[in-house]
Structure 1
Amino acid sequence: MLLPTIALSLPSEIWLQVAQHLPPTEVGNMYPLNSQWFEIAMNARYQHTSFAFLGRPMLRILTRLRDPAVAQRVRTLHIHPYFVKEVEEQTGILITTHCRRKFKIGGFLRLGRCARTPLSIQELVPMMVEVVSGLPNLTAFNIAWNGLETIHDLPVPILVAAFRPSLLRLTVEISLEKTVKLLAHTARLENLEELDLFIRLDHLYSDEAYKQILVSHVAPAINRLHKTLQKLSLRLCEPMDVAPLFDSLQVLPFLESVAISIPLARPHLGDPSGLGNFFERQRNTLRNVALRSSDLSGDGLVSHDGPLSEWVNDALSFVAGPTHLRSLDISLTLFPLEAAALCLGLFARSLTSLTLTGRQLTYDSVDELLGAVRRGRELQKLRLGTVTLSPELIDLIAEKLPALERLDLTIHEVVGSEGELLYLEHKGDQIQSFLSEMEQRRYPEWSLHKLALSWTSFPFQVPYASIFAECIPSLLRV
């Protein structure tokens, strides 16, 4: 059915709002509707482009991207250079032209009638380099390159072709062995703001050789970004000593956000002085820190307490002066509560936002963690989850954090009184008991302006908004 003329003449902003509520595949197919939808559909098709496995779909995209009008639409590029392995091993990658339909890749391959011509590395690399280097508005680049030892450094020219001044975000999941050639070109990233490194090992070298790569190649690559880098993320696939990397990083004057994933097993990130001294050098610039613990090594179950808490305590001991941290986000899935409390004890004084999620938190756990924030009287935003919602929990947060302005709680269950056992068949009674208790409470000194509640599983619609608005007067003053 044709849309009315008045609809076809709507401003592009309205169509953009409509497109946000449609599946991307549908948006990409609506280009014939009008000129506005043509622009929206073409952007939807090409703004996120991926190259991984060589086949006709990838070859068609390569051909389309040789058109500058299409190339300018690409904003995010994902490359996993498995296609190099496919071509190198010639696993059936044949470019076919039939007598009635010729298939040609941008002039790179001159194929005869009814020919089946293997695509060679000598043809693939310049083709890819030309296409990737011709994306003028690329702002985000994601690389996944680990394993694939047989192709050596063949993908490097293709990958670094995307290193350009327009790039703002670079995400690299890479074997440490492969960083030597790839990261040598970070000087081209004149305006890079965000760098996310996920380092893997192919286990080809000795520990000393890996340390040398960290010091001589990875650290200089990051240091070359010192004029623009604002966010740095580091993850490891397995425990390893990256203290030499931290020790080799110079002060990054614009670095505001750091996300660190600490392996649960020893040696974690190596000598704790590495991370500790890095935080000390950056304590005047850092405003946001996110901490995680990971267990990706596949070596079996590791205790959540003890060793990692001791390592974190040792690392924090190297931060000598006060910090200016404003936001702290700790995922407690594997991160010990004791270690989280140690972090809060160091950073709480300046915090305005705190996120503690990833595990079921008991009332006592919340009490312990908020006790570590006792010096942080300026905390304005708190996100906790998951928790058992009880009147006593609300009492605790109101008492500990009277200046809090926003509270986000992810709720697993509701009880009428802390310590009360929850019986599934009496869940409705528990909720009613909670509401009755809250009706009797008032928090006139609490500065809370926004309360957001979500739940993992909850079968009832409960009038929380009206109940909390009555007992927390500040909610009504917004």
Structure 2
Amino acid sequence: MIPSLPTEIWLQIASYIPERDMHKLYSLSRAFYELGMDAIYQDLRVRTFTRGMVARIQNASNKPSLSCRVLGLDIHLDAFDALVASRAQSSLGLLASLFYRDQGFHHPTHMSSPEVFSILLKSIKCMTKLRRCRLRIASHHPIETSLPFIREFWDTLRGRIDDLTLEVPGIGLWLVLPVFTDLSQLRSLSLILPDDVGGWGLFYTSECAVNFFNRAARSLECLSLISAPATPVQHLRLILIRLYQFPKLQKVHFDIQFDDITGYNVAQFLNVHGQHIHELTLIPRISANSDTTPLATLRLPALQKLSMNFQLETLQFNRFWASGFLTFTSLTHLRIDTPSLAHDRFSLICDAFGRRITSHQVYNVHFNLLILNSMVFDRLLLSFPALRTLSLTANFLSEPNESGVWDTAGFAQDLEDLSYPEWSLHDITLSHPSQAHPEDPTAASYEAMCIAAKSIPSIHSFCGWGNMDEPCDVRLERNARET
């Protein structure tokens, strides 16, 4: 009897099955056949043009039952470079086979680029439910040779997709962006700049990016801008200061090189366009002398989820978190991914939120800590009294023992005499950042979790230990009031 699970869970399970073995499931039942087809076609990733991939693309164009399953399309244009290699292998014979290897378990196709272009475009026209698209262009790829395909590709997708991600080298920005003219249905837009900005110069490429964003501004709900360390800060500044109104913008993700100029422009952009933003992720790469004060001026009244991931020098850290900043009156989810926070830094962050009414609404929190002990729980209780779900990545429980691993017995002792009867915390997940020392579940681990459950009467679920990839080696689920 096959358990009744949502399709999304079955697809997640199927993702662990090697593609070459998927066909073995098809004959088991109609349900497994449908699951297998969805696993293969819902998100079609064109990374290499092997015989198998070309056959799959052709199937999508010839069989409507398959093409209508495609919801997301991810195309790497450097996959066309493999066609050149396979053609060279075909023409040079045995000598070339010493240098060109088959990609994956399929043999490379010996079709030319125009032939594969034609098959791919025909297939895309049949993908009636296509809504997500990602186009990746490597820095070394000769964009000029792919321009006919890119232009016809955009024309084929005109007005159909609502989620677009472009990973474009700076030298090709001015060639790729202007050809997409219809952004009326776009709801989510991501632009990834993997290298420095070249081509026709800094201002011209910035102008292309600004026009590109502004054409989608009216309908855009999600905006993501990711730059490489080599991307000039002036380029990011020119983009940010010249963007128009985004009346529907709700989610923003910035992963950019950060200095005094871009810091001011990021803060200005968010304050101007952020009245409806409810989810913000900031991953600024900050130099040692950068002034982070502009971020302290953020005023986002609708913000519910805040995720921040950046390293600061000690003086910057103290100045940033001690300043009277971050008026987030609707915040409910907080994630701080700064690695291995020492207790003084962790306390400074908690104080920043504890001084404001904001923290009384926050019920989901994640921190990366150096040491987890009873003082952490005391600080969290004072700063986040409404906390219900807590996730902590900690290097050590209490002080490390002689072998440098988590001291579960010491952690249990720290919590034994404490009590948090008024706290509403329900779920705790602990993980270890080190891949070199994954912890085994022991009797001491169980004892520590039981003591924590008694100390916090509202606890229903306590999850640990392990590392970040496998954080649930031990799981205790119980109503702590019955413990």
Normalised by the length of structure 1, the TM-score is 0.77
2:455 corresponds to 1:474: no
Whole-angstrom CA distance in 1 between matches of 2:166 and 2:262: 24
> What's the offset of the Cα at 1:34?
2.7
> What's the offset of the Cα at 1:330?
1.0
Whole-angstrom CA distance in 2 between matches of 1:42 and 1:83: 23
Report the CA distance shift for 1:226/1:410 in structure 2 as closer, same or farther (over 3 A): same
- Partner in structure 1 of residue 210 of structure 2: 219
- Partner in structure 2 of residue 414 of structure 1: 397
Once the two structures are superposed, residues 433-468 of structure 1 have per-residue CA deviations (whole angstroms, 9 ceiling, x without a partner) of 331231211123323233222233333431344322
> What's the offset of the Cα at 1:259?
0.9
Normalised by the length of structure 2, the TM-score is 0.77
1:21 pairs with one of 10, 13, 21: 13
- Partner in structure 2 of residue 377 of structure 1: 359
Identical pairs, percent:
20
Please tell me the residue identity of whatever aligns with 1:223. Answer: N
2:60 corresponds to 1:65: yes
SS at match of 2:339: coil
Report the CA distance shift for 1:133/1:41 in structure 2 as closer, same or farther (over 3 A): same
> What's the offset of the Cα at 1:256?
1.0
Please tell me the residue identity of whatever aligns with 1:72. Answer: C
- Partner in structure 2 of residue 99 of structure 1: none
Report the CA distance shift for 1:203/1:90 in structure 2 as closer, same or farther (over 3 A): farther
Contact 2:300 2:328 in 1 (8 A): no
Contact 2:49 2:79 in 1 (8 A): yes
Gaps of 5+ in 2: 92-108, 460-479
Once the two structures are superposed, residues 100-124 of structure 1 have per-residue CA deviations (whole angstroms, 9 ceiling, x without a partner) of xxxxxxxxxxxxxxxxx98555544
SS at match of 1:360: strand
- Partner in structure 2 of residue 299 of structure 1: none
Whole-angstrom CA distance in 2 between matches of 1:248 and 1:403: 40
Whole-angstrom CA distance in 2 between matches of 1:143 and 1:340: 37
Whole-angstrom CA distance in 2 between matches of 1:175 and 1:14: 39
Contact 1:169 1:194 in 2 (8 A): yes
> What's the offset of the Cα at 1:52?
3.4
- Partner in structure 2 of residue 247 of structure 1: 241
Contact 2:370 2:394 in 1 (8 A): yes
SS at match of 1:30: helix
**117-126 vs 280-289, which deviates more?**
117-126
Please tell me the residue identity of whatever aligns with 2:47. Answer: A
Please tell me the residue identity of whatever aligns with 1:325. Answer: L
2:341 corresponds to 1:364: no
Whole-angstrom CA distance in 2 between matches of 1:431 and 1:470: 16
2:308 corresponds to 1:330: yes
Contact 2:73 2:132 in 1 (8 A): yes
> What's the offset of the Cα at 1:86?
5.4
2:48 corresponds to 1:53: yes
- Partner in structure 2 of residue 436 of structure 1: 413
Whole-angstrom CA distance in 1 between matches of 2:213 and 2:405: 54
| Number of aligned positions between the proteins | 424
Whole-angstrom CA distance in 2 between matches of 1:290 and 1:14: 29
Report the CA distance shift for 1:400/1:121 in structure 2 as closer, same or farther (over 3 A): closer
Report the CA distance shift for 1:136/1:334 in structure 2 as closer, same or farther (over 3 A): farther
Contact 1:234 1:261 in 2 (8 A): yes
Contact 1:243 1:272 in 2 (8 A): no
> What's the offset of the Cα at 1:338?
4.6
Report the CA distance shift for 1:118/1:405 in structure 2 as closer, same or farther (over 3 A): closer
Report the CA distance shift for 1:424/1:179 in structure 2 as closer, same or farther (over 3 A): same
> What's the offset of the Cα at 1:348?
4.7
SS at match of 1:407: strand
Once the two structures are superposed, residues 334-392 of structure 1 have per-residue CA deviations (whole angstroms, 9 ceiling, x without a partner) of 79645762798324544221111241111111011112112133222211113411112
Please tell me the residue identity of whatever aligns with 1:473. Answer: P
- Partner in structure 2 of residue 195 of structure 1: 189
Report the CA distance shift for 1:149/1:409 in structure 2 as closer, same or farther (over 3 A): closer
- Partner in structure 2 of residue 156 of structure 1: 150
Whole-angstrom CA distance in 1 between matches of 2:140 and 2:345: 45
Contact 2:302 2:328 in 1 (8 A): no
Whole-angstrom CA distance in 1 between matches of 2:71 and 2:24: 19
- Partner in structure 1 of residue 164 of structure 2: 170
Please tell me the residue identity of whatever aligns with 1:469. Answer: A
> What's the offset of the Cα at 1:42?
1.6
- Partner in structure 1 of residue 118 of structure 2: 126
Alignment of 1:390-405 (within 5 A): 390-405=373-388
Superposition RMSD in Å? 3.4
Whole-angstrom CA distance in 1 between matches of 2:81 and 2:276: 43
